[in-house]
Amino acid sequence: MSQYFYVHPDNPQQRLIKQAVEIIENGGVVIYPTDSGYAIGCQLDNKSALEKVCRVREIDKAHNFTLMCSDLSQISQYAKYDNQCFRALKHATPGPYTFIFRATRDVPKRVQNPKRKTIGLRVPDNNIAHALLELLGEPILSTSLILPGEVVTESDPEEIRMKLEKHVDLIIDGGHLGEQPTTVVDMSDGPFVLVREGAGDPSPFV
């Protein structure tokens, strides 16, 4: 049975954020709010937690995972990019975008795209997610909470609780969220490529 925290979306309670971070650090799988629906994630280096995420989502390890980062300086540790990319990132973060980059050595190979050696990175514009990332001090290995057979991100925390409370370690209720996914931009090789149009304005990247 998972724990269930009601966290204020504007002023996250530090006591609950601290408990959530401890669960992540102890290998827990956490469902948490972002600016594009709910995400499911775990500690970057925890193999067994990653396997649990894959079971819940019914995906394999070739899935394109995302590192949820607190800021641009954290992205720079895990992604290879040039000045043009940096300027674009500075304009678009925090926000509902996922950027695909060539991964650095700090990204475990098991979470990189196996063929392209890339990783998704983003900086969410959500107070709860930001508080988690700030206290954790490292990215949360994440993927959108799109359940098997569904095409949109889960947005209702009470429904998430009914479906998944026996399958994860913590569900953070940050209120009812939108279902629209992030806009995905591939910056890994040459000109920017718009992979998916979502909540973020795609115009700067086309």
Question: What mean pLDDT do residues 192-202 have?
Answer: 94
Q: Is residue 204 part of a domain?
A: no
In what helix (H) or strand (E) does residue 196 lie, and over which residues does it extend? strand 193-196
Residue pair 117/103 in contact by the 8 Å Cβ criterion: yes
31-90 pLDDT, tens digit each: 999 999 999 999 999 999 999 999 999 998 778 899 999 999 999 999 999 999 999 999
Strands 118-122 and 66-68: parallel
- Number of domains into which the chain is organized: 1
* Closest to 141 (Cα-Cα) out of 67, 39, 74, 61: 67
Q: Is residue 103 part of a domain?
A: yes
Q: Is residue 31 part of a domain?
A: yes
143-167 pLDDT, tens digit each: 999 999 888 889 999 999 999 999 9
Tokens of 76: 């720079």
Q: Is residue 9 part of a domain?
A: yes
Q: What is the CATH number of the domain that holds 56?
A: 3.90.870.10
Q: Is residue 140 part of a domain?
A: yes
Q: Rounded to whole angstroms, how far apart are CA atoms 113 and 46? A: 17
pLDDT of 181: 86
Q: Is residue 24 part of a domain?
A: yes
Structural domain including 88 reads: 3-198
pLDDT of 88: 93
- Report the mean per-residue pLDDT for the chain: 94
pLDDT of 61: 73
Sorted by sequence, the CB contacts under 8 Å of residue 31 that are 6+ apart come out as: 38, 39, 40, 145, 160, 164, 168, 170, 171, 172
Q: Is residue 205 part of a domain?
A: no
Q: Is residue 203 part of a domain?
A: no
Most confident of 10-19, 54-63, 170-179: 10-19
Amino acid at the residue 69 = C
